[in-house]
Chain A
Amino acid sequence: MSEWPGQLLVSVLALPVTGAALCLPLHRISDRVATAWTLLVTTVTCAGAFMVSVRVSHVGPFSHHLGGWLAPWGIELRADQFGALVGLAAPVFALVVFYGVRYSRHAVEAARRGPYDALLLINLGGLLGFSFTGDLFNLFVFMELFSLSAYALVAYGKQKVAAAASFRYLVMGAFSSLLVLFSIGLLYQLTGTLNMADMAYRLADGVPHRPVVLAFGALALGFMTKAAVFPLHLWLPDAHAAAPSPVSAILSGLVVKMGIVGLIRTYDIFQGAGGVDLPTFNMGLSTLGAIAIVFGAVLALIQDDIKLMLAYSTVSNIGYIAVGLGLFNESGLTGASIHIFNHAVIKAALFLALGALTFRTGYRTVSDLRGIGRRMPITVGALSVAVISVVGVPPTAGFVTKWYLAVGAVAAARPLLAATLVFSALVMLIYYLRIVNAFYFRPAVHEEVERAVDPPLDMLAPVVLLSGASLALGLIAQVPIGIALPGVMRLLGGG
């Protein structure tokens, strides 16, 4: 069991969490050393996670048994196709941290920068651990790692609303974690195991129905709250808008997706369980998703604050993923799972580009930032590309997702759902056209905007790379689809 893929899996999880512990003492010595350390750990970890994904795409899922204790008794680390999609998005995290070096110097006071770096690394460890574990209780522990660090990171926001937004996020998050823990306890009492694969096997073997349904409900509700599926999204807009821009990028791009990964794990566990009515649940999920799409798009339309607009757009995009999961056919699930990755890239590009505008001008609303397009051409150009991608204009990454979802909706004989997808794409087009129009074709109203120039290369490069990726991923969409497809087939019961 001591082959290199297993060791790689262990180090990808252990490195960021242990590395975080060193951030605080290093920060006492020198700010530069601590920053270099954070960058080094993030880069190595994300490269490792990416390698895990590459291996999954070449040879399929693989496991590592911690301490040599075989499953179901020991803790099994497992990299499957959906975990690999998160691993594929790990470079996004690295780019955000890279961008964040200069940004955090400007947004976070010196004394609080050590914990800030540490929290980022813990968050990374939690995200990857959550995606790469085969043990349900292990999943809970990693979930708490990324959740707690996320609550604390939101509180780094400068505005007065930040602490209250963080508190609301914490209460909702703690409540959903509690539901998940309750479900884990119940499932353990029912099956006597914590290994997810073993649990699925035993649940299919005839366990009393009513407690199983209760466990399913608690687990699904907990993860839906984490994913901010409508109407459980109330904590999201304020939290994502109040956080510093790099944190918003991570929260919107990766942290909410963990709820989706959790839902996929729930499907895995309850696949054959008696008493759980998955088709009804899926019907509900896709309906909620459709409402979320429209609701998020309309609320985004009326925001002047661009960060709030992007946060509501996340609600809408989570709706897309929920629709795809709820359709539960090949196209729908493929669209949903690649959107986990695509949306991470697109939303990170958007938040980072907006962060660069705020960094230079101090403003963050559409009306204040009028005329910025001519002053910061590269940043606003990158922003516009990402905008086109999130709306879903071909040939961008966003288009691929929506295409798959629409095909899935038609295949499931739900034309109304397909119509919703198209309608909301139009609404999104309006609100993004509004941004582009204000940025390029309106005269500037503030002096700071007149004087602004593109940010330095270390901030500009991540923005350009991410927005380039959001365009390129439409052209090389076979890569994430190729990774997701075997996993989708497994969910559909093909093996």
Chain B
Amino acid sequence: MTMLLDRADYVLAIILFLIGLYALVAKSNLIKKIIGLNIMETAVFIFIITGGLARDGSPPLVTQDTTSPYHDPVSQTIVLVGIVVAVSVTALALSLVTRIHAEHGTIEADELRGGR
């Protein structure tokens, strides 16, 4: 139990990931699938960010009075790039959904499959 509390951030990330996975797999609405994907992405970002945090750390900025320990800048860079990628994926996915809606008149995956 103490281990779980110690690693509350990881537990949270795993729960979020599973919620996103549920939405991605179980929901038929394509927009909800995209939301699920975004929740999963957020979970991974949280996992990477919290892994790079130091206890009582300061931001990784070099100034006159930088004191160690400071948070790991590489984890934050990874997540920044990850967010950029996630936004692009979401944008592309949403534009595809508008096209699917224009062509098929529905954005429900099960109706799409039936009417192919």
The digit string for B40-66, where 1 denotes a CB below 8 A from any CB of A, is 110010011001100000000000000
A sample of 29 inter-chain contacts (CB < 8 A) reads A137-B78, A137-B81, A140-B81, A141-B85, A144-B88, A148-B85, A148-B88, A151-B92, A161-B116, A163-B100, A164-B104, A166-B96, A167-B96, A167-B97, A167-B100, A170-B96, A171-B24, A174-B41, A174-B89, A174-B93, A175-B40, A178-B37, A178-B40, A181-B78, A182-B48, A186-B47, A188-B74, A188-B75, A188-B78
Q: In whole Å, how far is A147's beta carbon from the nearest beta carbon of chain B?
A: 9
With A144-B85, A171-B24, A175-B37: A164-B74 Cβ-Cβ less than 8 Å: no
B82 partner residues in chain A, CB cutoff 8 A? 181
In contact, B96 and A178 (Cβ under 8 angstroms): no
For B85, list chain A residues within 8 Å (CB). Answer: 141, 144, 148, 177
Closest A residue to B99 by beta carbon equals A163
- Other-chain residue from B33, B75, B96, B112 in contact with A185 (beta carbon distance below 8 A): B75
Pick the most buried of B30, B48, B88, B116: most chain A CB atoms within 10 A of its CB: B48
Taking Cβ atoms with an 8 Å cutoff, the residues of A that contact B are: 137, 140-141, 144, 148, 151-152, 155, 160-161, 163-164, 166-167, 170-171, 174-175, 177-178, 181-182, 184-186, 188-189, 194
Q: Interface residues, chain B, CB within 8 Å of chain A?
A: 24, 30, 33, 37, 40-41, 44, 47-48, 51-52, 74-75, 78, 81-82, 85, 88-89, 92-93, 96-97, 99-100, 103-104, 112, 116
Candidates B33, B74, B78, B112; contact of A171 at CB < 8 Å: B33
Majority SS of interface residues in chain B?
helix
**Complex Cα distance A186/B51, Å?**
8
Instruction: Compute how far the CA of A454 lies from the CA of B52 in the bound complex, rounded to whole angstroms.
Output: 61
CA distance A141 to B82 in the complex (A): 9
Instruction: Collect the chain A residues with CB atoms within 8 Å of residue B100's CB.
Output: 163-164, 167
Cα-based distance from A59 to B106 in the complex (angstroms): 57
Given contacts A148-B88, A185-B44, contact A155 B96 (CB under 8 A): yes
Q: How far is the CA of A65 from the CA of B4 in the complex (A)?
A: 42
Residue in A closest to B51 when the chains form the complex, CB atoms: A189
Q: Which residue of B lies closest to A190 (CB)?
A: B51
A265-B103 Cα distance, complex, nearest whole Å:
41
* Cβ contact within 8 Å between B48 and A185: yes
Measured CB to CB, the nearest residue on chain B to A155 is: B96
Other-chain residue from B52, B92, B103 in contact with A170 (beta carbon distance below 8 A): B92
* A171–B37 touching, CB < 8 Å: yes
10 additional contacts (CB under 8 A) given A160-B104, A177-B89 = A144-B88, A148-B88, A155-B99, A164-B104, A178-B44, A181-B82, A186-B47, A186-B51, A188-B48, A194-B74
**Which residues of chain A come closer than 8 Å to B37, judged between CB atoms?**
171, 174-175, 178
Question: In the complex, what's the smallest C-beta–C-beta distance from A140 to chain B, in angstroms?
Answer: 8
Q: Most B CB atoms within 10 A — which of A140, A144, A152?
A: A144
Contacts A155-B96, A160-B104, A188-B74; A167 near B30 (Cβ below 8 A): yes
Report yes or no: A148 in contact with B92, Cβ–Cβ below 8 A. Answer: yes
